[in-house]
Chain A
Amino acid sequence: MTVTAKDAAGNVASFRRDPAEVMRLARMGSAHPTRLSFLRVLLRRMRDEGWRFDRPVWEMDAKGVGRAVYRAIGPERTYSLVAFAHDLPADMRSDRVIATAWDATFALFDGTPTTADLDRLQANVPLQEAGRIAESELSLSRANRSVRLFDHIVSRLAEGEQPDAAEIDAVGYLMRTTAVYGSGKFGAADRSVLAWRPEMKGPFQAEMLSVWLTRAFTVDLVEHLAAQKGGTKAVRLAPDLRRCLGVGNSTGLGMAPFLIRHPMLLNNWVASREEALARVRAQESAGAAEVAGLRAALDAARANHAHWRSEHPIQIEKLADLGGDIDRIGEYLETWPGAGARPWDALWRWGAETLTLEGQEALLAMMLEPHGALIDGLADCMDAEEGAIHRIDGSMSASATRAALAGHYGWAIDTDYADRSQIARFWYVSEEKLEPRLGERFEEDGAERELPLCIGWLAADMARALDGWKGEDSLAAFLLAHPEHRFMARRLQMAMRHPYAEIRDNLIASDMLPIDLLRCKLAYFGATHFDPRSDRWVRIALCQGMPYPDEMTKEGERA
């Protein structure tokens, strides 16, 4: 590295936000998708590499029951979404991950499936968790119709008319996925099999491809049913209306512990985004194209806000915050960039002082938007080899361990865990459905089977247990005497090397909101229209406004 490059790198580092600021639940629960979100990364790659798409199989009867194959053909490999459409009675349609029947079920197949492959998948994919798939599959998922909009569009198209834009706007998708299982689940190929492929190295790329192709399937299915119903009178969906449709997703507590269980991965997601923001802030000036790009991003944010609805009181308030902040940003940009040094940093500092958390995180996404050349490469840094950090270095001294705990978990160690409100909840897995849930410690049974997701409490316990050990004693000796702190010891050593790994809030406090965890993870996926239905489950949309497979071109698409 040359001296100049080193100086520049050091310079960028000084613009990075502190983990103590970034890794708070309230801020994570205000996260917005950015151009580093996984869906955007996937579409950019497919556009830049000139991927082709086709639908070699469409075997669908008059009731819309049958199977279809959608292929994504890359420069080196082909991936196929295998879709099975079912005839589901209304009384079996459940949003829950624990449902047992769906309107449609899917697997992402590695390559082009033969008829024998399709027959094998047809015997297993519709069963979802109760079936087994193989290493030739990369994901397993299912979706239910948004019945009202689905029926509306079918009947309108069958009559030769376009559906109401307002109806489409109110729902935003034809089907909602209730689970998309990826790496290694139910027999599917896992990361150790796939991560050497550039197009599968990034987080959740197989799952995002599956969802994006599922969206094309949902539109094909309504057009098929309309044609069956209306015959020659039927028309296809107008391209501009079609663009507005995405894929919905319902997500509950099952996803919430993910960010806690995968600290190294979380670090890499956040560190990449924070590095991107720092690079933008560190620029000496603002070019005309980037200034115009920022204004376009503001317009897009305003349009997105106008279509973003929720009936949940928390989200209604956050949307009001966001609306006010978008106006404030618009006013500020009237005189920005001005003549001062480092205008992007000035903009950021103004936002951090002026805007709510919603507005600040939205501003972050806007500021990244016109800087693809500067930051898109960071998408390559967002995966994690989690198995590579298993070993604990037991030679660490007790004094160094104490200092590290104080340095990385100071936010947790001084909490008063004798206060019942600080330990009001516990995370556990339900025996009935094997899904994670959050219990009330002083009202429900089962706290003795608590999952180790109460990280702050564990850190505080370990710090207390270290009292009385001599400074030169080894961590190995401490852990032989106290195996109950082994989990936290491994976590501590991981956190020492990964500053954004740990959520710096009490995850079992009475006022903790699980939807904050969901919002953060879903923003990294690229989800929009975050719509909480309670403090612990949400609906979101993916792919709205994005091109369809038949619209993918190298030019002009927002990816």
Chain B
Amino acid sequence: MSEIANDPTQAGVAVPEKGGARLTLPEIQSLCFKAARGAGMEWGLAEEAAFAARWLAAAGLPGPERLGARIQAGVGAAPEIGSGVWRGRAGGALCPIAAGAALSDRAGAIPPELRLEGLAWPVLILPFLALVAEGCGASVALTWPGGRVTVGPEGPGAGADLEALAGFAEATVEIAGAAGAAPVARQSGRWLSHDDWALLDGFALRTTVPASEKSRAGAGAGNLDND
């Protein structure tokens, strides 16, 4: 009958032939969950990707767009965890979703200063710093070439040039403890261009199964409803 937020199992939204749309946060989360899975991420990491895209959209940042770019380039390398430095396994670009998940898992045990080398689409790491902040009860600062932002459990602090951060396809960044900052205002959705939407939707469709006569037969009511 009806569904509530972020249920990826309901009959979905079809991308129109042209034009973008303002997607709500649950729609962004659902779309990105399926897209990340469709791109080959494990379900639990696809949940992290969807969480990150939604969190960034709520902060007014291009989370879904950068996730789309990220998965279009392939699912990146999991972190090789060293003391004070993380880099992608086997020399690959470090996946911000895998790295972010590993960071949030270790929220209470992250060294005072940590460098993430060769981090792909570094803006995608921000949501996980909020999880770290939630887990360790203190804000976290992210420094990238030319900028710095403080992230608390509620979101990124105002004032930083996060659009500049969102422009990096890859960067080495540093993470350290920081004093709290007032978060930016939250958005309840985000306008996606047709291209960005269609890219994610294309990956999302890879989670679906083509119909067969058998599958059509048992799913619901008969075709006519005139009784």
Chain A interface residues (CB < 8 Å from chain B): 90-91, 93-98, 129-130, 132, 134-135, 139, 141, 144, 146-148, 176-177, 179-193, 203-204, 207, 249-255, 257-258, 261-262, 265, 386-387, 390-395, 428-440, 443-446, 449, 451-452, 475-476, 479-480, 483-490, 522, 525, 533-534, 536-537
**List of A residues within 8 angstroms of B224 by Cβ:** 90-91, 93-94
Stretch touching chain A among B100-108, B143-151, B158-166, B167-175 = B100-108
- In angstroms, Cα B224 to Cα A534, docked, is 16
**Chain B nearest Cβ from A412, distance in angstroms:** 17
Q: A141's closest neighbor in chain B, by CB?
A: B2
Partner of B221, one of A141, A436, A451, A533: A533
Cβ of A148 and Cβ of B78 under 8 Å apart?
Answer: no
Partner of B211, one of A189, A432, A525: A432
**List of A residues within 8 angstroms of B43 by Cβ:** 452, 484, 486-487
Cβ of B218 and Cβ of A257 under 8 Å apart?
Answer: no
Cβ of A132 and Cβ of B21 under 8 Å apart?
Answer: yes
**List of A residues within 8 angstroms of B105 by Cβ:** 392-394, 475-476, 479-480
Q: A180's closest neighbor in chain B, by CB?
A: B2
Cβ of B2 and Cβ of A207 under 8 Å apart?
Answer: yes
- In angstroms, Cα B104 to Cα A490, docked, is 12
The residues in B between 72 and 124 inclusive whose CB is less than 8 angstroms from any CB of A are 78-79, 81, 98, 101-102, 104-109
**List of B residues within 8 angstroms of A95 by Cβ:** 220-222, 225
**Chain A nearest Cβ from B150, distance in angstroms:** 19
Q: B97's closest neighbor in chain A, by CB?
A: A483
Cβ of B102 and Cβ of A393 under 8 Å apart?
Answer: no
Check if B154 is an interface residue, CB within 8 A of chain A: no
**List of A residues within 8 angstroms of B98 by Cβ:** 483
Check if B65 is an interface residue, CB within 8 A of chain A: no
Cβ of A203 and Cβ of B4 under 8 Å apart?
Answer: yes
With known contacts A435-B219, A487-B42, A480–B5 Cβ distance under 8 A? no
Partner of A129, one of B14, B106, B219: B14
Besides A90-B226, A435-B11, A475-B105, 5 more A-B contacts (Cβ < 8 Å) are A95-B225, A132-B21, A386-B6, A394-B106, A432-B210
Partner of B5, one of A141, A184, A393, A479: A184
Check if B194 is an interface residue, CB within 8 A of chain A: no
Listed A/B pairs (10) with beta-carbon separation below 8 Å: A134-B22, A180-B1, A183-B3, A190-B188, A430-B208, A433-B11, A483-B45, A486-B42, A486-B44, A533-B221
- In angstroms, Cα B210 to Cα A193, docked, is 36
**List of A residues within 8 angstroms of B214 by Cβ:** 440, 443-444
Check if B71 is an interface residue, CB within 8 A of chain A: no
Cβ of A480 and Cβ of B81 under 8 Å apart?
Answer: yes
Cβ of B2 and Cβ of A179 under 8 Å apart?
Answer: yes
**List of B residues within 8 angstroms of A431 by Cβ:** 205, 208-211
With known contacts A93-B226, A94-B224, A485-B44, A391–B9 Cβ distance under 8 A? no
Q: B217's closest neighbor in chain A, by CB?
A: A534
With known contacts A95-B225, A185-B26, A257-B9, A480–B42 Cβ distance under 8 A? no
**Chain A nearest Cβ from B10, distance in angstroms:** 6
Cβ of A449 and Cβ of B14 under 8 Å apart?
Answer: no
Cβ of B9 and Cβ of A191 under 8 Å apart?
Answer: no
**List of A residues within 8 angstroms of B207 by Cβ:** 429, 449, 451
**Chain B nearest Cβ from A523, distance in angstroms:** 12
Cβ of A193 and Cβ of B188 under 8 Å apart?
Answer: yes
Partner of A258, one of B7, B13, B102: B7
- In angstroms, Cα B217 to Cα A230, docked, is 43
- In angstroms, Cα B162 to Cα A541, docked, is 51
Q: B54's closest neighbor in chain A, by CB?
A: A387
Cβ of A261 and Cβ of B7 under 8 Å apart?
Answer: yes
Cβ of B209 and Cβ of A445 under 8 Å apart?
Answer: yes
Partner of B2, one of A129, A135, A182, A536: A182
Cβ of A94 and Cβ of B221 under 8 Å apart?
Answer: yes
Cβ of B226 and Cβ of A147 under 8 Å apart?
Answer: yes
**List of B residues within 8 angstroms of A439 by Cβ:** 209, 215
Cβ of B27 and Cβ of A184 under 8 Å apart?
Answer: yes
With known contacts A204-B4, A207-B1, A480-B102, A429–B9 Cβ distance under 8 A? yes
- In angstroms, Cα B101 to Cα A393, docked, is 11
Q: A433's closest neighbor in chain B, by CB?
A: B11
With known contacts A148-B227, A480-B81, A98–B101 Cβ distance under 8 A? no
Partner of A430, one of B6, B108, B206, B219: B219
- In angstroms, Cα B227 to Cα A452, docked, is 37
- In angstroms, Cα B44 to Cα A517, docked, is 24
Cβ of A135 and Cβ of B189 under 8 Å apart?
Answer: yes
Cβ of B211 and Cβ of A483 under 8 Å apart?
Answer: no
5 closest A-B pairs (Cβ-Cβ)?
A486-B44, A394-B105, A184-B26, A446-B209, A252-B220
**List of A residues within 8 angstroms of B131 by Cβ:** 390-391
Cβ of A146 and Cβ of B106 under 8 Å apart?
Answer: no
**List of A residues within 8 angstroms of B210 by Cβ:** 430-432, 445-446
Cβ of A94 and Cβ of B219 under 8 Å apart?
Answer: no
Cβ of A434 and Cβ of B1 under 8 Å apart?
Answer: no
**List of B residues within 8 angstroms of A536 by Cβ:** 218-220
Q: A249's closest neighbor in chain B, by CB?
A: B1
Q: A147's closest neighbor in chain B, by CB?
A: B226
**List of B residues within 8 angstroms of A148 by Cβ:** 227
**List of B residues within 8 angstroms of A192 by Cβ:** 5, 25, 188
- In angstroms, Cα B44 to Cα A485, docked, is 7
- In angstroms, Cα B1 to Cα A251, docked, is 6
Partner of A436, one of B9, B23, B47, B109: B9
Cβ of A185 and Cβ of B27 under 8 Å apart?
Answer: yes
With known contacts A93-B224, A96-B220, A204–B2 Cβ distance under 8 A? yes
Cβ of B108 and Cβ of A177 under 8 Å apart?
Answer: no
- In angstroms, Cα B103 to Cα A476, docked, is 9
Q: B220's closest neighbor in chain A, by CB?
A: A252
Cβ of B11 and Cβ of A98 under 8 Å apart?
Answer: yes
With known contacts A93-B225, A187-B21, A480-B79, A253–B219 Cβ distance under 8 A? yes
